[in-house]
Structure 1
Amino acid sequence: MNEAKKSGEVLVDEIHVDKDELMRYLNGEIQFTEWKQGQDLMKFFASEDNAPEPTETKDGDIDENASEGSEDEDEEDDDGDAEADQEEEGEEELLDEKDEEYFPPGISTRKGKVGRPRKPRPEQVTPKRPRGRPPKARMPGLTSSSEGSPMTHELRLGREERRLKGKRGFPRGRIRNRVPKDLRGLMGEAHLCFARGSEQEAIKMCLEIIRQAPRCPDPYQLLAMIYEDKDDMEKSLQFSLIVAHLRPRDTEEWTRCAELSLEQDDIQQAIRCYSKAIRYNPKELSNHMERIHLYEQLKDTKKVIECYQILLKALPEDQGEQYMQLAKDLVKTHHQNGDISSAVDILSHAFAKHPKLISSEDVNILAELHIASRHYQQAMQVISDHCGVGVRSQSSHEVLDLEQLSLADRETKQDSVDVEVPDGLPIDLRAKLGVCLIHCKQFQSAKNVISLLMTKDPNMMGDLVLDVAEAYAELGCYGESLPLLQALVETKNYNLAAVWLRYAECLTSLGQLEQSTMAYRQVLQKAPGHLDARIALSSIEQQQGNADVALELLSTGSDEEVAADVQLIWQRSMLLYSKGLLREFTRDSLLLLMAYVNQASDKNVPKRLSGNLGVISHDNWFSLYCKTIDALVKLRQLEEAEALSNTVLVSKRFARESSQQLDVEVMGICVYFLSAKYRRVYEEMRSLLSKHADSAAVWNLFSFVTNLTNDNRHHKFCLRLTLKKLHENIALCILNGHNAMVNGTFKHAIGEYIRGFRQKPNDPFLTFMIAISICHIACQKYTTKRHSLIVQAFAFLKRYEELRGVSQETCYNIGRALHELGLLHMALRYYHKGLDLPPSSDDPRFDLRSELAYNLSLIYRHSGNEEMAIELLSNSVI
C-alpha cells in the first residue's frame, strides 16, 4: 500500500487508479473510452457483490454546528422519499417522460462511497430569482453532449437497479446535494461576482463547482439567474429544470418551470412540470386546474377526464361545493364525448358523497342523463329521492321502488301507480317526471303531473312542452302529441322548422295527408335544404297520385343541391323509373352506382354526392343495378352497360350473396352477347361454369350461346371438364352426347346418355335421347341386328311416353321417330292422335298442330293421296 502511494497511485481493493490519468480525464484531455482504469473501476462498482459499504463515521469527524441544522432537513427528505414512493399510480400515467429523478450526465449515483464519507455541511440558501421574459431562440445541445456516453449509460443502469432495490424494501441512503464545505467559499464568491456584475467570472466559478459537486443545485440556480439577467431565457429554463430535478420535492420550482415553458409556448413540457408538481404536492389544486386547461387546449379529452378524476380524489372532504362543481364539469366533458354512463356514475357518486349540497339543478342534470340513456325508472327514482315526489301503488297504497315499476297495459292505458307531487317542485323537473311517466305508460298520472305545464305560456316553456310531445310520439300516441305541437307552431319563439317537422310527422301518422302536406311545405319554406322533409313530401304527393309534383319537388333547386344527397337522388331515380323516363333514370342511377361500387377501393366519394351511402340497403342497391342494366339495354346503350357490368364485377360489391353474384355475371354475359362479342361470351362462360357447375341455368345459357355461335371449341372443353373434374355431372353428359350426335358418332352419344341415365333413370329427356340415338344407328347402311335396335328404340320411346304423358309433344316425337324408321302406318297413327289433343300451354309457340299436319301431309303425298295432304295443309298449316 505504501508502495502504491509512493508511485502516485490510489489502491481501491484490487484496482489501481493512476492520479495523473484521472486528472487528465477530469480536465477533458482524454475521453472516458481512453481511460482504461476508469472503465475497470466502473465495472467493479457496477457489480452488486463488490459495491462498497458506507463506512461508519466517528463522532469527531462530524461538524456539530452543521449537523444540528441539517438533521431535521435530512429527515424531512427521507420522509418525502417514502411519501413519493406511495403516491397514486394514475398520476404516473399522465407523464410523457420517464418519471425518474434527474442526474447530470457522467455522475455516479451510488449511495456508498470509497473511504471516509464527507461531513455534512449546512446548506447555503440561494435566493429565488424573479421571473423574466424568455427569448424566442432555444439554446441547442445544452444537455445532450453526454447523454450517449458509455459511462452515463452504465451509471443510469446502476441507479435504476438501486432504485428498484429501494422499492423492494432495501434501505435507501440520504441524498446529500448541498454545497460541500470546501466549495462554499467559492459559491459565495460566485454570488458576489454576480452581484457586482461580473457574470463571466460567476459562470466560471459555478461550472467549477458543478465539476466537483455536480449534484448540488445551488450553482445551477445561480446560472439560471445569470442567464435570465442576460435575457437568455432558453438557457435559464434549462438550468431551472436541472434545479427542479435535483430538488424534486420543490413544487414551487416545478410550477415556475411550467410557467416559463408556457412563455416559450412549450405546452408539453409545461404539462410535465405540472405533473411533477402534482406528484409531490397533490393538494395544490391550482396545478391540477392549470394542467386541465393545457390538455383542453390540446383537445385531448381522454387526458382531461383523467386529470379531473385525479383532482376529485385530491380534494379534501371539507371542500364539498368545489367537489360538486368539478364533478359537473367532468360530467359535461363526458357528455360532450358521448359517454353518458360515465357521466351518470360520476354525478351519482357526487350525490352519495355530498348529499347535503345537492340542488335542484343537480337533480335536473342527473335526471336528464338518465332520460338520455333511456333509464326512465332511474330518472324517476332520482326525482323521488331528492325532491319529495311520492309514488304509491294503486292497489296496496305502498311506496314503490321505481326501478321495479311494472309497465301498464298500453291498449287499456290503465295506470298502476299514484304520484304525489309537492307544490314547490320546479317546472323543469315536473316536465321530466311527466316524460318518465309517459315512457312507463302511466298516462293518466302523466297528465296530472304535466297539467300545470299546460297552463304556462308556450313561448316561455316551449322546450319542455316539446319534450312531452316527443315522448308521446315516440310511443305512438300521436293523438296526445298533436295538440301540444299545434300549440307550439302557433307561438312566436317555437315557430321553427324542427317543430313543424314533428307536427307534419304526427299528421302523416294520423292519416291527415292534406294537412301534413301543408306542414311539410312550411318546413321547406323555413329550411329549403331539409332533405328529409323534401323526400317525405314527395312520397305523400306520390301517394295522392301527383307524380309530376313529386318529381318537381325532388328536382327543385340548383344542380348542386339536387345532386348533393344520396337519398334525394335515389328517391328521384325510382320515381323516374316508375314513370318510364329511362334516359333520366339512367343518368341518376349511374351516378349512384358508380359511387357505390367505387367506395370499397376509393373512400373519396365524388364531389357531386354527399350523405351516407349506407342508408340504402344492399338489396335496394342490387335492384337498382338490375333496373339500370335493363334500362341501358332497352336504350341500346350497350357500351355503358358493359362498362357498368365490368365495374361491378371488379368491385365485388354484390359478392356477399352467391345468388346475386351469379346474376351479375350472367347479366354481364348477356350484355356481351347482345353486343355480338361472342369470343368474350365464351371466355366468361368458361369462367362461370368453373364456379357454378351445379347451376342448371348456367348450363342452359352455355348451351344457348354455343348453339347460336356455331363454335365447335366447346366440344374439347366439355370433354376435358368431364375427365378432370365433373365425372358425374348430368349436364355434361347431355352436352357431350349432343356433341357426339352432331359429329355422327352415335355410339359415343349413347354412352354419354347412358351415364346420365344411370343417375336419373326416370328422366324423360335422357330416355328420349337414347331412343333417338338408337334410331340413328338403326338407319345406318351397314348396321347389323337392325331389328333388335328398332325394338330397343321403340321400348325407350314407350318409356318416354310413360314418363312424359300423352300429349302433342310425345305424339309428335314418337311419330317422327317411327317416320324416320319407315314405319309409316305406326307414325300415321301417332300424328292423328297428336292432332286430336289440345296444346299443353296457351302460348302459341307450344302448339304443335301445324308440325303434326305437315309431317302427316308428307306421308299422304308419299302414298299418292294429294287431296288429303292439301286439306291438312289448308286446315292446320296455312
Structure 2
Amino acid sequence: MLLKQCDELTKKSRQDDVYTDYFDKIMEHVGKRWRRRRKSGEPKKRGRRKGSKNKLSPEITKKLGDANLHYAAGRYVEAIHVLNEVVRLAPTLGDSYHMLGLIYNAIGDKIKAMNFYILAACLTPKDPYIWKLLIARSMEMGNISLVMSFLSKAISADPKDVSLRFHRASLYIDLGSYRKAADSYDQILGICPANVEARMMAAKLYQKCGQVDKAINILEDYVKEYSTEADLSVIDLLATIQMENKAHGKALQLIERAHLAYCTGKELPLHLTVKAVICEAHLGNLEKAESLLKNLQMEEADDHGDLITKVADSFMNLGHYEFALKYYFMLEGKAGSNNGSLLVKIAQCYLSLKEKAKAVPFFSKALLELEDNIDVRLTLASLLLEEGKEEEAIALLSPPKNLESTTDTSSVGPKPWWFSGKVKMLLAKIYHAKGMLEKFVDAIFSPIRETLFIETMNKKVRMKKKLPKSVLHERVKLLDDQQDCNVWCGFRPVAAPSELLKAVRARKLLQKKAALKEEKKAAALAAGLDWQSDESDDEPSPKVLRKPPPLPELLKDEEHFRLIIDLCKALASLQRYWEALEVINHVLELPHQILYIEKKEELRSLGAQIASNTTDPRHGYDYVRYLVQQHPYSLAAWNCYYKVVSRLESKLSKHAKFLHRVRVTHKDSVPPMLITGHQLSMGCQYQAAAREYLEAYKLQPDNPLVNLCVGTALINLALGFRIQNKHQCVVQGFSFLHNYQRICQNSQEALYNIARAYHHVGLVTLATIYYEKVLAMCVKEYPIPKLPNENLCLPEKQNPGYCNLHREAAYNLHLIYKKSGALDLARQVLKDNCNP
C-alpha cells in the first residue's frame, strides 16, 4: 500500500512546483518579518499589533481535521491533497507544514520531511518542540553544523531548558572548542546555580583553557553560597586545582573549613585527608602530616592503595625519602598494586639516599616484571658497573641467545628492549673500555649509521607534495554540509578554524584546476586535436615513512661525539676503512648548527688518516685536500696528501686543478712543486719535471730531497733521444747528486743513490766503488716515519735490518759482476749479504 502511494506521489510530481513556489513566498515573508527593524525616528508601539492575532477560518479548521484523519488512516495522498489546499488558503500556517513533514517522513522522503519541518519552525520560531525535532533529525543525518544552528534557535525559543545547553556544551567538547563549552556550562550556572555537574565541568574546562583563576572563582562561589550543604566533590576539585596551582596553604584551609562545616564530629573522607597530608608535607609540617595518616594502616592498604601511593609520591618528590619508603613498603606485595613500578620507586629512594647496595636488588626484582623498561635496565647496569661487575652488566644488556624463538621481526609494534639505541650505546662503552673492538663495533655501528642516515635525510629540503583530488573533495565537504538541505542555508559550518581554512583553500584549488582544465580543453579543440583529460593528479601521492632515529640527539652531546670518533678509530683498526669513511661522510653532511667547527676539523683530520690506508683512496681525497688547504706549508699535511694521491690508479682531474691553484696562491710552497715534478717524472716528462725541481731548488738549495730530485731528473733527461748535449746534462745531474751526498754527510742512503745513478748510466766502475762503500757501512734501526696522529692501526712488525741497504747494494753489485763474467764473485756477494 505504501509503495502504491509512493508511485502515485511520483506521478503527481507537478504538485512539487506548487510547494516550491510556496517555499519561496513563505521564506520571503519570514525573512521580511525577521529582518524588519524599527526606524530611528519611529516611535515604539506598545501592546499587541492590531490584527496580528491570526484566527483560523472554519474552512481551514475543517480541512486540517480532514488531513489529520487521512494521515491517521494512512491515506497519505489524500492528506497531501487536502494540505495543498490549506497551504494555498493560509501560506503562513505552521501546522500544515508540520503535518506535511510527518507525512513525508512516514513515506520515507527524509529530505522533503526535513524541509517542511524547517518551514514549520520558521513560522513558529517560539515553539521549542519543532526545533528539538529538527535537532534529532540533524543528529541522525550526522550534520553537526545544522545541529548547532538549530540548538541556538531552540535555546532562544526556550532559554530555561538546561538540557539544550548541556547538549550544546557536549558538542563543543567533541569538537575541541573547550572555551565555548566552558562558557555554555557557565550560562547553565546562571539559570541553575545549584547544578553541581555544570559547575564542575565549567571549572575543569576553564582550567584546561588556562583560566585557572576563573575556575577557582566558580568553585569558591558555590562554596560560599552553599556553606552548609556544599557537595564534597566540589571541595575536592577546588582543593585539587589549588594544589596544582601551588597554593597548598589555601587548599589546606579549605579542607579544614570543610571539616568543621560538613563533618562535625566525624572524620573527613579519606581522599580529602590524603590531600590535607600532601598540603602539610609541602608546607613542611611532617609531624602533623604523620598524625593525619593514622587511618592508613597496613590492613587498609588493599582498599586504599592509590591514596597511599599519592602520599608516598608526594614525600618522594619533596625529598623525604624515609617517609616515602615507609608507605611504599606498606604496598609491597599487596594485591592490586603495580609491583613493578612500586619496586622502581623504592629503588630510586635508596639511590637518592646514596644506598646503592640496597637499590640493586629492588631494580633486579622490578626488571623481572618490567622487562622492556629501558630506563630500569640502564640504571641497573650502571650500578653494576660502579660495583665492578662488568660481566653481569654485559649479560644484562646483551640480547637473549635464543632470539629466533623469542622474537618475531615481521610483527608490527614496539621493538624488544635489545633494539634500543641507549642499551646498545652503554654496551658499546663497556666493550670499548675493555678493549674488545670487534664487539664494540658490532654493538654500536649499526645504530649510529642508521641514525646518521635518517638525520641526513631529514635535513634535506623536500618538494611540497600535491594533494590528490580525493583529499581536496573530502575537505570541501565541510563547506558543502549546509547544502544537504535546500531550505535552511547560509549558516557557518562548525569546525576548528584550521579545518575551515584548509577547506577554503581546497575549494579554491579545485576551482583553479577546473579553470585550467577548461583552458587546456579549449586550446586543444581550437588546434583541432583530440583532447583527453589528465587524471594523474587524482592518484594519491606515495607516503614517505620517516621513523625516528635509534639514537636521537646523537651529535648534541660531547660524550656521544667521542663515541663516534672511537667507532671510526676502531673501524680503521679492524681495516674496515670504507665503513669508517661512510660514518664520517654522514656526520660532515649535517648542518653547522648541530656540529661545531672544531669537531668537523677533527673528523676531517681523522678521515685524511683513514684515507691514506684505504685500497681505493678516491673516497678520502677530499679530506686530505682540505687538510692541505688549511696547512699549505705543512710537510706532514703534504705527505698525507701525496700518500693518497700516489696510490690513485688513474689521475683525478680535480687533483691537477687543485695543484695548479695552490701553485698560484702559494708560490713559495715547495711540496706542490715536488709533487708536480714526481708526477711528470712518472709520465716520462723529465724536462718538465726538471723545471719544477729547479724551481724548488731556487727556494731551498740545501734541501737534500730537492737536490736528489734535480739530479735524477737531469740524468733521466740525458738518456733520452731529443737532447743534444747529453754529457753536459749528465755531469750537471751528478753534480746535484754529489751535493746531495755532501748535505747528507755521506750517509748510506746517499751513497746507494749515487751508485744506482752510475749503474743506470753505465759507469759500472764508479758504481762498484759506491756499492762497496754501502756494503762496508752499518746503520742503526730507525722507526718508519708516520703521518701526524697516525696511531690508528696496530704497530707494524718489521724484520730486523729493514733500515739497512746491504741487500739492495749486494744484489745490484752481483748484477755487475755477473755481466762482466765474474760469476764466482757475484755468487760470493749474494752469499755474504743476501742470506736470510
- TM-score bucket (shorter structure): 0.5 to 0.7
Shift of 1:254: 1.0
Shift of 1:428: 4.9
Shift of 1:502: 0.5
Shift of 1:309: 1.9
Asked if the contact 2:66/2:79 (under 8 Å) is kept, the reply is: yes
**Is 1:736 matched up with 2:676?**
yes
Shift of 1:551: 1.7
Q: Deviations over 1:738-787 (max 9, x none)?
A: 424544667766887899999xx9xx999676555555567665598999
Q: Summarize the Cα distance change of 1:171–1:720 in structure 2 as closer, same or farther, 3 Å threshold.
A: farther
- 1:574-593 counterparts in 2 under 5 A? 574-575=426-427, 578=431, 580=436, 582=438, 586=442, 590=446
Equivalent position of 2:286 in the other structure: 446
Equivalent position of 2:361 in the other structure: 518
Shift of 1:312: 0.7
Q: Deviations over 1:154-205 (max 9, x none)?
A: xx9xx99x96x969989999999x9999996774454143044265355245
- 1:432-471 counterparts in 2 under 5 A? 432=275, 435=278, 442=284, 445-453=285-293, 456-458=296-298, 459=301, 462-471=305-314
Secondary structure at the residue paired with 1:708?
coil
Query: Which 5+ residue runs of structure 2 have no aligned equivalent?
Result: 1-13, 259-264, 459-542, 719-724, 759-765, 787-794, 815-827
**In 2, Cα distance between equivalents of 1:583 and 1:450:** 54
Bigger RCO of structures 1 and 2 (CA < 8 A, at least 6 apart): 2
**In 2, Cα distance between equivalents of 1:453 and 1:810:** 97
Q: Deviations over 1:515-568 (max 9, x none)?
A: 333223332444455444344434444544152575257545865569754653
Tell me how many residue pairs correspond in the alignment.
Answer: 657
Asked if the contact 1:340/1:369 (under 8 Å) is kept, the reply is: no
Q: Summarize the Cα distance change of 1:435–1:218 in structure 2 as closer, same or farther, 3 Å threshold.
A: closer
- Which of the numbers 193, 197, 215 marks the counterpart of 1:347? 215
Equivalent position of 1:312 in the other structure: 186
**Is 1:288 matched up with 2:165?**
yes
Q: Summarize the Cα distance change of 1:813–1:261 in structure 2 as closer, same or farther, 3 Å threshold.
A: same
**Is 1:568 matched up with 2:418?**
yes
Shift of 1:615: 5.8
Secondary structure at the residue paired with 2:163?
helix
Equivalent position of 1:328 in the other structure: 200
Equivalent position of 1:220 in the other structure: 97
Equivalent position of 1:504 in the other structure: 347
Secondary structure at the residue paired with 2:389?
coil
Shift of 1:239: 1.0
**Is 1:486 matched up with 2:486?**
no
Q: Deviations over 1:354-378 (max 9, x none)?
A: 4414666445434434555xx53x2
Query: Which 5+ residue runs of structure 1 have no aligned equivalent?
Result: 1-24, 33-102, 112-155, 390-421, 802-807, 863-869
The AA in structure 2 aligned to 1:505 is Q
Asked if the contact 2:781/2:803 (under 8 Å) is kept, the reply is: no
- 1:295-306 counterparts in 2 under 5 A? 299-300=174-175, 302-303=176-177, 306=180
- 1:389-788 counterparts in 2 under 5 A? 428=271, 431-432=274-275, 435=278, 442=284, 445-453=285-293, 456-458=296-298, 459=301, 462-474=305-317, 477-489=320-332, 494=337, 496-542=339-385, 543-545=387-389, 547-548=391-392, 550-551=394-395, 554-555=398-399, 560=406, 564-565=414-415, 568-569=418-419, 570=421, 571=423, 574-575=426-427, 578=431, 580=436, 582=438, 586=442, 590=446, 594=450, 597=453, 604=545, 613=550, 617-618=554-555, 645=582, 656-657=594-595, 678=616, 682=618, 684=619, 694=629, 703-711=642-650, 713-714=651-652, 716-721=653-658, 728=665, 735-743=675-683, 770=706, 772-776=708-712
**In 1, Cα distance between equivalents of 2:701 and 2:349:** 62
**In 2, Cα distance between equivalents of 1:838 and 1:591:** 43
Q: Deviations over 1:435-461 (max 9, x none)?
A: 456567x4xx33443343267315165
Q: Summarize the Cα distance change of 1:816–1:457 in structure 2 as closer, same or farther, 3 Å threshold.
A: farther
Q: Deviations over 1:793-838 (max 9, x none)?
A: 999999xx9xxxxxx9998898999999999999999999996999
The AA in structure 1 aligned to 2:656 is L
Shift of 1:28: 7.3
**How well do the aligned residues superpose, as a CA RMSD in angstroms?**
6.7
Q: Summarize the Cα distance change of 1:653–1:170 in structure 2 as closer, same or farther, 3 Å threshold.
A: farther
**In 2, Cα distance between equivalents of 1:215 and 1:756:** 111
The AA in structure 1 aligned to 2:187 is K
The AA in structure 2 aligned to 1:575 is L
Asked if the contact 1:282/1:314 (under 8 Å) is kept, the reply is: no
**In 1, Cα distance between equivalents of 2:120 and 2:746:** 109
The AA in structure 1 aligned to 2:215 is L
Secondary structure at the residue paired with 1:504?
helix
Asked if the contact 1:220/1:240 (under 8 Å) is kept, the reply is: yes
Equivalent position of 2:240 in the other structure: 368
Q: Summarize the Cα distance change of 1:835–1:652 in structure 2 as closer, same or farther, 3 Å threshold.
A: closer
**In 2, Cα distance between equivalents of 1:439 and 1:755:** 83
Q: Summarize the Cα distance change of 1:850–1:546 in structure 2 as closer, same or farther, 3 Å threshold.
A: closer
Q: Summarize the Cα distance change of 1:359–1:596 in structure 2 as closer, same or farther, 3 Å threshold.
A: farther
Q: Deviations over 1:413-434 (max 9, x none)?
A: xxxxxxxxx9977765565455
**In 2, Cα distance between equivalents of 1:829 and 1:479:** 88
TM-score using structure 2 length: 0.58
**In 2, Cα distance between equivalents of 1:106 and 1:589:** 80
Q: Summarize the Cα distance change of 1:349–1:554 in structure 2 as closer, same or farther, 3 Å threshold.
A: farther
Shift of 1:513: 4.3
**In 1, Cα distance between equivalents of 2:425 and 2:134:** 65
Range with greater deviation from structure 2 (583-592 or 490-499): 583-592
**In 2, Cα distance between equivalents of 1:487 and 1:511:** 22
**In 2, Cα distance between equivalents of 1:810 and 1:350:** 103
Equivalent position of 1:88 in the other structure: none
- 1:192-203 counterparts in 2 under 5 A? 192-197=65-70, 199-203=76-80
**In 1, Cα distance between equivalents of 2:692 and 2:754:** 23
**In 2, Cα distance between equivalents of 1:279 and 1:446:** 56
Asked if the contact 2:774/2:806 (under 8 Å) is kept, the reply is: no
Equivalent position of 1:49 in the other structure: none
**In 1, Cα distance between equivalents of 2:621 and 2:120:** 80
Q: Summarize the Cα distance change of 1:524–1:724 in structure 2 as closer, same or farther, 3 Å threshold.
A: closer
Identity %: 15
Q: Summarize the Cα distance change of 1:702–1:773 in structure 2 as closer, same or farther, 3 Å threshold.
A: closer
The AA in structure 1 aligned to 2:297 is D
Q: Summarize the Cα distance change of 1:475–1:263 in structure 2 as closer, same or farther, 3 Å threshold.
A: closer
The AA in structure 2 aligned to 1:456 is L
Asked if the contact 1:206/1:219 (under 8 Å) is kept, the reply is: yes
Q: Summarize the Cα distance change of 1:253–1:181 in structure 2 as closer, same or farther, 3 Å threshold.
A: closer
**Is 1:383 matched up with 2:252?**
yes
Q: Deviations over 1:283-305 (max 9, x none)?
A: 43110112344566xx43x1355
Secondary structure at the residue paired with 1:316?
helix
**In 2, Cα distance between equivalents of 1:726 and 1:169:** 93
TM-score using structure 1 length: 0.55
Secondary structure at the residue paired with 1:320?
coil
Equivalent position of 1:89 in the other structure: none
The AA in structure 2 aligned to 1:350 is I
Equivalent position of 2:120 in the other structure: 243
Q: Summarize the Cα distance change of 1:470–1:830 in structure 2 as closer, same or farther, 3 Å threshold.
A: farther
